[in-house]
A and B are shown apart, each in its own frame.
Chain A
Amino acid sequence: MSTFAEAVSDGRVVAWRNLKRVPRIPELAIFAILQSIMFVLLFAFVFGGAIPLPGGGSYREYLMPGIYIQTLAFASITTAIGMADDMSKGLIDRFRSLPMARSAVLSGRTTADVVYNALILVVLMLSGLVVGWRVHGTFGDFVLAIVLMLMFTFTMSWIGVLLGLLVKTVEVAQQLGFLVIFPLTFVSNAFVPTESLPSILQPIAEWNPVSALVSATRDLFGNPNPFPSDSWPGEHALLLSFAWTIGLLVVFAPLAVRRYRSIER
Chain B
Amino acid sequence: MAAIETEGLVKVYRSRGNEVRALDGVDLEVQEGTILGLLGPNGAGKTTTVRILATLLHADEGRATVAGLDVARDAQAVRKLIGLSGQYAAVDENLTGRENLWMFGRLYRLSSGDARRRADELLGRFGLEDAADRVAKTYSGGMRRRLDLAGALVGRPRLLFLDEPTTGLDPRGRLGMWDVIRDQVREGTTLLLTTQYLEEADALADEIAVVDHGRIIARGTSDQLKAQVGGERIEVVVRNPEDLRRAVATLAPDGGSTCDRHTRRVTVAARGGAQELVEVVRRLGEAEIQVDDVGLRRPTLDDVFLELTGHAAEEAEGDEEDERDEELAA
Contact = CB atoms under 8 A, between A and B. Distances in A.
A13 B104 CA distance: 9
Nearest to B100: A17
A6 B92 CA distance: 22
Contacts of B80: 99
A2 interface: no
Given A91-B92, A94-B86, A100-B109, 12 more contacts: A17-B92, A17-B103, A90-B86, A90-B87, A91-B90, A97-B55, A98-B79, A98-B107, A98-B155, A100-B108, A264-B58, A265-B330
Contacts of B87: 90
11 contacts: A20-B95, A20-B99, A90-B88, A90-B89, A91-B91, A93-B84, A94-B84, A97-B54, A97-B79, A97-B84, A99-B108
Contacts of A258: none
B76 interface: yes
B56 A96 contact: yes
A97 B93 contact: no
A95 B95 CA distance: 15
B57 interface: yes
Interface of A: 1, 6, 9-10, 13, 16-17, 20-21, 24-25, 89-91, 93-100, 104, 264-265
A21 B86 CA distance: 23
B41 interface: no
Nearest to B137: A24
Contacts of A94: 84, 86, 90-91, 104, 151
A33 B32 CA distance: 55
The prevalent SS among residues of B at the interface is loop
Nearest to B102: A13
B58 A99 contact: no
A100 B56 contact: no
B108 A93 contact: no
A13 B103 contact: yes
A89 B86 CA distance: 11
Contacts of A265: 330
B228 interface: no
What does DSSP make chain A's interface, helix, strand, loop or mixed?
A: helix
Contacts of B94: 20-21, 24-25
Closest 5 CB pairs of A and B: A90-B90, A94-B90, A99-B79, A100-B107, A97-B84
B82 interface: yes
Given A17-B92, A17-B95, A20-B94, A97 B82 contact: yes
A104 B91 CA distance: 17
B135 interface: yes
Contacts of A90: 86-90
B106 interface: yes
A111 to B, nearest CB: 16
B58 A96 contact: no
Nearest to A1: B109
A167 to B, nearest CB: 15
B88 A89 contact: yes
A206 B56 CA distance: 44
A265 B58 CA distance: 11
A163 to B, nearest CB: 20
Nearest to B89: A90
A183 B177 CA distance: 51
A96 B55 contact: yes
B56 A93 contact: yes
A89 B104 CA distance: 16
By CB atoms of chain B within 10 A, which of A13, A99, A264 has the most? A99
Contacts of A13: 103, 106-107
A95 B80 CA distance: 12
A113 B108 CA distance: 24
Nearest to B55: A97
B95 to A, nearest CB: 6
A109 to B, nearest CB: 13
Contacts of B103: 13, 16-17
Contacts of B54: 97
Contacts of B106: 9-10, 13
Contacts of B108: 98-100
A93 B57 CA distance: 10
